[in-house]
């Protein structure tokens, strides 16, 4: 009896959460998806599936209503939607910056160390970007990678000024020890100098081996669109240098606090940074390109990513996808205005 009551209670809490998601999706998706409490309420596969279905349902109704309102003034709303996309990019980049401060706080860094650390991160990232121009004669491309996926990787990397000739793309026969379908690996080193006044006169990144995008056996079990989405996801990590940033943050903090960098990586605030990078890997390409947006949304509809991306992420991807579709719809209305005398033609 008591057990049943507990179960009921748990169930009604879940129903409440789902209803909350539907409500936020319907009224203000951008706001809802950026709330910290929204971040972690969905962490179970079954619940995730229910929440994405609720999101889609509410999103659909919202789009129907919006279409009729916004068709009256397409220019105004196109501008509004484009601003919204720009704002989402700004926010997700600010999230990363803010997280650097959170990590510093958790590990008790002094303000001066934080300032120096941020300068080092920025300079190494700059050097990382410059390194893309250098030729990497050791890069290898596995012959079994389908030409279609290869060209998706090539196109995406080129947007970040990275020539795929300098990046290895390989299939692994052995599963990823971390359970990944795909990942990117860098073997790199970096050096920097700190002047007496705390400024950084010198900071440089260099590859020891070419950056490697690796597909594990599990990757090949997925359908085509999930594979395509994964390629865009991994290429974005490479473009943004997420691996490098995470490596520097862990070693810098380890250096200042005498902690083992791998312990720093386990810390709560660091894991949050990893999560922000995972979101960026899907949100940034979706903002840039309409097709990527619908691909990413489709992938995350079925592709639950435990302990990393939750219902709020799906909501954000859906919002971006719908925003692109609304812009296209309004552009069409501008091109072919409805004839007021023949409304049914």
Alpha helix stretches (DSSP H) within 132-260: 147-159, 224-240, 242-257
- To Zn ion, the closest distance from the beta carbon of 225 in angstroms equals 17
Q: How far apart are CA 156 and CA 152, in angstroms?
A: 6
- To Zn ion, the closest distance from the beta carbon of 234 in angstroms equals 7
Q: How far apart are CA 194 and CA 149, in angstroms?
A: 43
Report the DSSP beta bridge partners of residue 182. 215
User: Three-state SS for 336?
Assistant: coil
Sketch the per residue contact string, 281 through 320, with Zn ion: x for CB under 5 A, - otherwise: x---------------------------------------
- To Zn ion, the closest distance from the beta carbon of 302 in angstroms equals 17
Sketch the per residue contact string, 193 through 212, with Zn ion: x for CB under 5 A, - otherwise: --------------------
Q: Interacting stretch for Zn ion, rule CB under 5 A, among 20-28, 125-133, 201-209, 270-278? A: 270-278
Count the Cβ atoms, other than its own, within 10 Å of residue 344. Answer: 5
Nearer to Zn ion among residue 74 and residue 229 (C-beta):
229
The site for Zn ion, by CB under 5 A, has a size of 2
Q: Interacting stretch for Zn ion, rule CB under 5 A, among 78-86, 169-177, 273-281, 329-337? A: 273-281
- Crossing angle of helices 290-302 and 311-335, in 10° steps, is 150
- To Zn ion, the closest distance from the beta carbon of 262 in angstroms equals 19
Nearer to Zn ion among residue 96 and residue 278 (C-beta):
278
Q: How far apart are CA 291 and CA 298, in angstroms?
A: 11
Nearer to Zn ion among residue 95 and residue 278 (C-beta):
278
Nearer to Zn ion among residue 124 and residue 238 (C-beta):
238
Nearer to Zn ion among residue 54 and residue 276 (C-beta):
276
Given a contact cutoff of 8 angstroms between Cβ atoms, the answer to whether 235 and 182 are in contact is no
- To Zn ion, the closest distance from the beta carbon of 63 in angstroms equals 29
Q: Interacting stretch for Zn ion, rule CB under 5 A, among 31-39, 211-219, 271-279, 325-333? A: 271-279
Q: Interacting stretch for Zn ion, rule CB under 5 A, among 82-90, 130-138, 258-266, 278-286? A: 278-286
User: Cα 133 to the chain's mean position, in Å?
Assistant: 25
Write out the H or E segment, with its range, that includes residue 193.
strand 182-193
- To Zn ion, the closest distance from the beta carbon of 135 in angstroms equals 27
Alpha helix stretches (DSSP H) within the chain: 2-27, 29-33, 45-70, 74-106, 111-131, 147-159, 224-240, 242-257, 261-266, 268-288, 290-302, 311-335
- To Zn ion, the closest distance from the beta carbon of 331 in angstroms equals 32
Q: Which residues bind Zn ion (CB under 5 A)?
A: 278, 281
């Amino acid at each position: 009896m008591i057990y049943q009551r507990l179960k009921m209670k748990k169930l009604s809490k879940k129903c409440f959460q789902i209803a909350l998601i539907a409500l936020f999706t319907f009224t203000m998706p951008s706001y809802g998806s950026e709330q910290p409490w929204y971040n972690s309420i969905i962490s179970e596969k079954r619940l995730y599936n229910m929440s994405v279905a609720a999101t889609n349902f509410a999103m659909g109704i919202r789009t129907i209503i919006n279409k009729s309102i916004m068709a009256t003034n397409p220019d105004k709303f196109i501008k509004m939607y484009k601003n919204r996309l720009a704002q989402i990019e700004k926010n997700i980049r600010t999230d990363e910056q803010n997280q650097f401060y959170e990590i510093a706080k958790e590990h008790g860094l002094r303000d001066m160390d934080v300032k120096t650390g941020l300068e080092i991160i920025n300079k190494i990232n700059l050097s990382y970007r410059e390194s893309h121009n250098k030729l990497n004669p050791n890069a290898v491309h596995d012959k079994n990678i389908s030409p279609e996926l290869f060209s998706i990787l090539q196109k995406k990397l080129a947007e970040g000024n990275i020539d795929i000739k300098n990046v290895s793309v390989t299939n692994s026969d052995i599963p990823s020890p971390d359970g990944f379908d795909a990942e990117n690996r860098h073997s790199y080193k970096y050096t920097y100098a700190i002047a007496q006044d705390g400024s950084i006169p010198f900071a440089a990144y260099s590859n020891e081996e070419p950056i490697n995008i690796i597909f594990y056996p599990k990757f090949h079990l997925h359908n085509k669109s999930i594979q395509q989405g994964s390629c865009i996801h991994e290429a974005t990590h490479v473009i943004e240098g997420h691996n490098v940033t995470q490596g520097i943050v862990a070693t810098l903090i380890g250096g200042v606090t005498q902690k083992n960098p791998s312990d720093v990586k386990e810390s709560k605030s660091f894991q949050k940074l990893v999560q922000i990078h995972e979101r960026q890997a899907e949100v940034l390409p979706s903002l840039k390109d309409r097709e990527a947006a619908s691909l990413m949304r489709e992938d995350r509809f079925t592709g639950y990513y435990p302990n990393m991306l939750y219902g709020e992420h799906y909501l954000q991807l859906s919002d971006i996808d719908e925003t692109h579709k609304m812009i296209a719809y309004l552009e069409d209305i501008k091109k072919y205005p409805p004839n007021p005398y023949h409304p049914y033609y």
